[in-house]
Structures are given as structure tokens and as C-alpha cells.
Chain A
């Protein structure tokens, strides 16, 4: 959807008290890639997501999106700059209808646009996600999987350049998983960069064109899936972690 993509993280760190949650992470995204972000539990994936989306301020380091510095911006400004995200635990606006859930980002990002036009788009997206029959239902009445879909749908209303999908497959029915696959391909084909965080290794390896691996907050590998798979540091991180458990 957007043409130019340039997301750049330089030495981003975050400390909580004495705990280094994210440790000097640098990488950049310059084309509409599908990137898998993986790592053992507690590796700092969610913290990194929160840093990129403005929910947390980095202790040090900078983040640029399309030439604009976005670290330290409020989450809504980051969203306006073109970075959208979903949450690990779905956060549907529960006492609002599905349509209103779609229109919040629509109207917030495109105040000048005709409401009818936005509604038209919302209908299209809901149709794609197979939840169009729930358009006027309150979102609290939706099942867990349907809420996931709704979250993904809301993202599309933002016209983002980069989206971060935090565990989109967790606790989702296999049939809906297919729908989400279709959605990811569609978003990718539209020219949006996707950062996919998931514990479902099968899905990550199947979908991603590039893998970024975190361990103890530090970036330990960044490259094509096959290459990363055989990286001794990565194998060590996963196996070593299992022993800790």
C-alpha cells in the first residue's frame, strides 16, 4: 500500500531496573519483506515490539521510520507515522461494535475522508476476514479467534508501511489459521513489510523470507531462514534455554 519503507533500529536498549530486557539491537527493514522475529521465552520480543510501537521509551538508541525519528513518540504518533501492531493478548474494544472497532483507526488516521468510503473499506476487509456477518455485533460477543481477525482487520484501516503481528496464531482454530495465512499473504502482496512474532515455528519458517533471532535481549542472528536454522548460536539459544526450564 505504501511505497517507501525504511525502518531502522540503531543500538536500541531497554532496562527495567537491573534487568537488560533489550540489549543494543540494530536491524533495518528496507523493502516489503516478511520477517519472522523469534526467540525463547523472555528473549525480549514483546519488549522490542513495545519499543518500536511507542508503548515504551528506549533507554538508549534510536528508531527511524521513513526518515522520521519515532522512538520517544507517543504510540498514536508512531501509528500515524506508519507502523501498526497487534497485541499478544487481543485487545478488542469490547463494548463497541465490530464496525466501530474498524472505524476508530479509520477516522483517526484519515479525518478528511468520507465516512461512507471508510465504511465501504471496512466492509471489504471484514469480508476478506470472513467476519462480515458480525459487523454490527458488539465485539465482546466475538470468540477469541474472531477477535484476532478483528485486530488484524483494524490494522488494515491504518494503511501502515510496517505491521508487527504479535502471536497471530496463538489459540486460534485451524480453519481461522488458514484465513490468517491468506491475510498475511494479501498484506504482503500489497507492499507492506510484516514483522511476525510467533511460537509456531512451522508457520514462521513457512511464511518468513528473513528471520531475526533474539536471546536475552540481544540480536543473535539475522538472515534467511535456512541459514539461521543452522546457526550454532541459535541452536544453542534454544537448546540451552530448554535446559534452564
Chain B
């Protein structure tokens, strides 16, 4: 299907302002439940509501409404991305590709990072300044802006907050991109004006698939925040969710066909709730049998046990599926008949044209499913008693227990719910990817990357992490000079980020800090 220019413009003209108005009136409601000091000024909320509503419609409004903390971050990130892209486009044109400056950038980055990381934390301690995050900021800053960071941080020893980290991190990314652009001026990611379209296309692909990544990662983070354990069975639950959907559709379709006497096929959307229910029960049973004794203190070396037992659970699921389903790739029907949504090419001037941008229909549909489910989850966590109880347990088990919440039930619920989210992600993606029993092993690496990047235990972190990883993978694969290598290294790009985050800042971007 092709969305005609006129249609698109019509949408912009009608839907954008409409939702912007909704955002304008709805957003100030964020303040009603908040204590005085957490309130955000009404004007800010209204502006955010208008922008969010205009850009993303109902999604934007809901996103901001349920996670008001996102407002500042989103604004900053959008600002940084735009600046970075614009400046690197200018630089690529100015800098001679044969200049040894590239070499300087490569060598000097890590060098200055090491120097700054060595000097600055010590300096902070000597001056008795707050040295939280200084190591990370110094390393990032040294990499991005070299000796400047030492000058910047030496004199006034500013407190390093999240905004610093995001700015410096983006600067580093900007530098890498520029370097890349200088070295590969013919790459589709660099060639302007084509690059804008190409990058947008890749980013759009990343966002689309990233929303499902987020869904899965939220499950993992939910389990961690309540139980304090990382589920190493998450990938297999994702995989088996896909298979439950597959078999339901297969057998359900056959049964219906027999009953009605005509060829009937069930839309794969119905596989999602089925997989969700089955895996929810599976997760709950596993938690009751194997994890509950651990929380009751019946098991020694609990941390080790948690790793091994969830790992073993995944092992059993994987090989049972292999025995039942065999190693052959499976796939269900499509969600929707529409092959792809296309945003047509718009020519503004002779030199500058934008588009076309294509989104595969089923992927777009999966994204919508992912977003709807995430909002359902956020609503559940924020606005229902059980959801609040779950969050309370994750913050302080004992205090929660005193107020009449049963922590044992919350443990079971969190594991079952987390597993269910993985299964739903699987069921949402089986119409898109070829499904084999080891598909989970690949996916789970990704969700670890996401949760660690966002901070283990942080739900907004997992949402953002998912989108970021989706974009990084799409851009990495799309911009690699050798396309076949690029595709093969797809996972590797995210893993590199993962390793760096683990080493530099294990609490991630949104994680709670521990003393």
C-alpha cells in the first residue's frame, strides 16, 4: 500500500493538530497524583503534550502521560541527535578524506579517555567534590572532546548528572560517525542528500523492531526489579511463545476448517493471547516449584542457584521444543495483507529530496502490538492495585510486606508476567521471522543488552534501551561498508555497547545508584 503524498499531508494537517490539542489538555493531569516537589510546571507539560501529540499522536500523549520523566530526556535526545547529524553533515563536506586527522581522531580518542579517566576522579576526590559518575564522564568526554574535558571538569568540578552523560555519549557517537563518514564518503549512510532518507529508513526499521525488543526487555527487568535475579530462560520463553502461537494457529485452523467445511485460517494476532496465557502459567509453576524455595531461604548460595536454575529451565524448554517441532524453520501467516507502507518521495528542491521510506506491513503491525502491550503494562503498573503492589515490592520488600502485600505472590506474579511478556514478543514476531528452536538464544543476548543499557530493574530504561538497540543494530548493519558483513555483525554492534556499559557503568543509563 502506498500512502499518497496528499493523504500524508492530510494526516499531518488533521491528526497532528487534533492530538496536539488532546495533549495540551490532558498533560497537566500528570501533576494530580504527584507530591508537590515532583510536579512539573504546567507550561512544560502543555508544550510537551502539544509536541508529543503532534509528532506521535495518541502514542506520544500516552507515553508522556504515563512516564512524565521522559519529557526532559526525550527533548534532550532529540536535540542532541539533530545537532550531531547536522554538524557531521557539514564536517564531512569540509574535511578532506585523505587527511591524517582521521588517524588522530582514532588514536587520540582512547588516549585522552584513559588520561581523563585517570586524572579526573582523583582530582574530584582531592577537592572533596561529589565524584559520582566522574569516571564514566571522564572516559566518554576524553574520547569525544579530548583534553577539553579535563579543562571543563577541572576548574569547577561540576556534579555529573544524566544530562552530562547523555551529551558526552552523543558527542562520542557523533565523532565515530564523522570518522566513519570521512573514511567512507561513498557509503549510503553518508552520501547526502541520500543519507537523510537512508538513515531515516534505517532508524525507522530500528524503532519498529526495537519496540518489540522493549516489550521483551521489560519482562526481564520486571523480574529483576522484584526478585533481584536475571532470568536466563527469557530467550527460550520468547521462542516457545512463538511456537505456542504457531501450533495454536495450525491446529485451531484445522479444527475450524473441519467444523465449517471450508478453509479457515486464524489471524496470528489470536496466537498472542494464547501464548501469553500458556507461558504465564508455565512461568508461575516454575517460580512456585524452583524459585519460591530460594526466597524462603531453603537453598544455599541463592545467587548461583538463580543463575543455574533459570538457565536449566531454558535448556529444558529449548530441547523439548527441538524434539517436538524439529529444527525446520516455521512461520505463520501474515498479520495483515498490506505488504508495506510507503512514504512517497517528496522533492523540495532540485538537490534536496526526501523518501521514499518503506515499512514492511507486518513489522508495523507488530510495532503497534508492542506499543499497545507496553501501554497496557504501564497502565497496570501505575494505576492498578496489583501493579502498585508489584512496584512497592520492588522498592522495599519489607515495607511492602508490612502494608499487607504478600511478597511471595508478588514474586510469582513478576516471574509469570515477565515470562508472559517474552512469550508475547515471540508470538508477535513469528509472522515476521523464520522460527527455529534456537531463535531465543540470539534474541536473549539482545534483551540482556537492553536491560543493562537501560539499567537492570528500570522499566523506562528497558523501553528506551529497546529502541536504542533497535536503531544501533539497523544503523550498524545498514551502514557497514561491506553489506554482507554488516548483516552478520548485526548482533555484535549491540554487544560491543553492552560490554562497554557493563565495564563503565554497570547501573546503566536509568538504573538506581547504589552506595
Contacts and interface: CB of A to CB of B under 8 A. Distances in A.
Consider the complex of A and B and state whether they touch directly, i.e. have CB atoms less than 8 Å apart.
yes
Interface of A: 13, 15-18, 57-60, 94-95, 140
Contact of B130 (A17, A57, A140): A17
Contact of B515 (A16, A57, A58, A95): A16
B130 A60 contact: no
Nearest to A60: B128
Contacts of A18: 130
A17 B515 CA distance: 9
Given A17-B513, A17-B515, A59-B128, 17 more contacts: A13-B128, A15-B128, A15-B130, A16-B515, A17-B130, A17-B132, A18-B130, A57-B125, A58-B125, A59-B125, A59-B131, A60-B125, A60-B126, A60-B128, A94-B300, A95-B300, A95-B301
Nearest to A13: B128
Interface residues of B, number: 10
18 contacts: A13-B128, A15-B128, A16-B515, A17-B130, A17-B132, A17-B513, A17-B515, A57-B125, A58-B125, A59-B125, A59-B128, A59-B131, A60-B125, A60-B128, A94-B300, A95-B300, A95-B301, A140-B300
A15 B124 CA distance: 12
B257 to A, nearest CB: 60
Most chain A CB within 10 A, of B126, B513, B515, is at B515
Contacts of B513: 17
A147 to B, nearest CB: 16
Contacts of A57: 125
B15 to A, nearest CB: 45
Contacts of B132: 17
B128 to A, nearest CB: 5
A16 B515 CA distance: 7
Contacts of B515: 16-17
Interface of B: 125-126, 128, 130-132, 300-301, 513, 515
Contacts of B300: 94-95, 140
Give chain B's interface secondary structure class.
loop
A60 B131 CA distance: 12
Nearest to B132: A17
Most chain B CB within 10 A, of A16, A57, A59, A140, is at A59
B381 to A, nearest CB: 27
B393 to A, nearest CB: 23
Contacts, number: 21
Nearest to B131: A59
A94 B515 CA distance: 26
Contacts of A59: 125, 128, 131
Contacts of B125: 57-60
A37 to B, nearest CB: 21
Contacts of B130: 15, 17-18
Nearest to A19: B515
A22 B378 CA distance: 41
Contacts of A140: 300
Contacts of A15: 128, 130
A58 B128 CA distance: 9
Contacts of B131: 59
B129 to A, nearest CB: 9
Contacts of A60: 125-126, 128
Most chain B CB within 10 A, of A13, A15, A57, A58, is at A15
Nearest to B121: A57
A10 to B, nearest CB: 14
B163 to A, nearest CB: 17
Contacts of B126: 60
A15 B128 CA distance: 8
A17 to B, nearest CB: 6
A16 B130 CA distance: 8
A18 B128 CA distance: 11
Most chain A CB within 10 A, of B125, B131, B300, B301, is at B125
A191 B489 CA distance: 65
Nearest to B125: A59
Nearest to B301: A95
Nearest to B124: A59
Contacts of A17: 130, 132, 513, 515
A159 B125 CA distance: 33
A140 B301 CA distance: 12
A16 B125 CA distance: 12
Contacts of A95: 300-301
A59 B131 CA distance: 9
A18 to B, nearest CB: 7
B29 to A, nearest CB: 32
B411 to A, nearest CB: 24
B359 to A, nearest CB: 44
Rank and list the top 7 A-B pairs by shortest CB-CB distance, nearest first.
A16-B515, A60-B128, A59-B128, A59-B125, A17-B132, A17-B130, A13-B128
Contacts of A13: 128
Most chain B CB within 10 A, of A13, A60, A140, is at A60
A58 B124 CA distance: 12
Contacts of A58: 125
A218 B126 CA distance: 19
A140 B297 CA distance: 14
A59 B130 CA distance: 9
Most chain A CB within 10 A, of B126, B130, B513, is at B130
Nearest to A58: B125
A140 B515 CA distance: 28
B118 to A, nearest CB: 14
A17 B513 CA distance: 10
A16 B132 CA distance: 8
B46 to A, nearest CB: 32
A59 B127 CA distance: 8
B148 to A, nearest CB: 26
B183 to A, nearest CB: 42
Most chain B CB within 10 A, of A17, A94, A140, is at A17
A139 B154 CA distance: 50
A165 B213 CA distance: 50
A83 to B, nearest CB: 21
A129 B125 CA distance: 42
B158 to A, nearest CB: 14
A128 B456 CA distance: 48
A190 to B, nearest CB: 36
A59 B122 CA distance: 9
B116 to A, nearest CB: 19
A179 B125 CA distance: 43
Nearest to B126: A60
A15 B134 CA distance: 14
A61 B301 CA distance: 38
A213 B6 CA distance: 79
A57 B131 CA distance: 12
Contacts of B128: 13, 15, 59-60
Nearest to A24: B128
A188 to B, nearest CB: 34
A60 B515 CA distance: 17
